[in-house]
Amino acid sequence: MKQPKKRGAVIWITGLSGSGKTTLGQELVRHYNLTHRLCVFLDGDELRGALGEIIDEDVKFELNTRKKLAFFYSKLSLNIAEQGHLVIVATVSLFNEIHKWNRTNLPNYCEIVLDTPLQELRNRNSKNVYTSNKKLEMSPVTGINFAAEFPEAPDITFMNYPFKDPAEMASKIVSLLETKANM
């Protein structure tokens, strides 16, 4: 007899570079580890680094490559979630096409936006992506070199300026997912 597929869930955290996506994702992982809920954390920076050997450095940050990577993250999330896991994704991936695909295809999808003013991100500049003109020419930045397409109907938007407590944000996301996915 064929076993029915377990349905996991995907929490997709998006926002501009430096908005706090990884910090929030790590807080969610910490929470779910404490509750013994198996989860997988996919961080866009780490994934891009892991895939770096197969991505030509000259196009690594180009718009088309970013979109292809975002689709890869979405499809990888689907594969993992269909095995019954909770997937937490922290990625810029600010493309409406991606958000629509995710909402249609990912099980128990929760879309979270971290909205932080560009000037604040320049002040934080945690990854040095907002300072050097030479660096900007070499590595285009979403929100500066090309427009960011923020989700049209996210499940939750956090204005992350000043910094919000990641544990408080995670608590709201956990409540949403419990209601949405009965988890």
Does 1 fall in a domain? no
pLDDT at 3: 52
Instruction: In whole angstroms, give the CA distance from residue 117 to residue 81.
Output: 32
Instruction: In whole angstroms, give the CA distance from residue 2 to residue 115.
Output: 44
Instruction: In whole angstroms, give the CA distance from residue 111 to residue 149.
Output: 14
Does 3 fall in a domain? no
- Select, from the ranges 63-67, 83-87, 178-182, the one with the highest average predicted confidence (pLDDT): 83-87
* Block residue for tokens 């989700």: 151
- pLDDT at residue 5 greater than cutoff 60: no
Encode pLDDT of 123-173 as tens digits.
Answer: 877 666 666 544 445 567 777 777 888 999 999 999 988 888 999 999 999
Domain that holds residue 65: 9-177
Does 36 fall in a domain? yes
Does 119 fall in a domain? yes
Encode pLDDT of 35-74 as tens digits.
Answer: 878 899 999 888 877 776 666 554 456 778 888 889 999 9
Does 35 fall in a domain? yes
Instruction: In whole angstroms, give the CA distance from residue 157 to residue 136.
Output: 27
* Token representation of residue 61: 């940050």
Higher pLDDT, 179 or 24: 24
Instruction: In whole angstroms, give the CA distance from residue 79 to residue 148.
Output: 26
Does 2 fall in a domain? no
Encode pLDDT of 6-24 as tens digits.
Answer: 679 999 999 998 899 999 9
Q: If you compute the radius of gyration of the chain from its CA atoms, what whole number of angstroms results?
A: 16
Kindly report the pTM of this predicted structure.
0.87
> What one-letter code names the amino acid at 82?
E
- Which secondary structure element, helix H or strand E, spans residue 96, and what is its range? helix 96-105
Does 4 fall in a domain? no
β-bridge mates for residue 9, sequence order: 86
Domain total of the chain: 1
Does 86 fall in a domain? yes
User: What's the DSSP call for residue 21?
Assistant: H
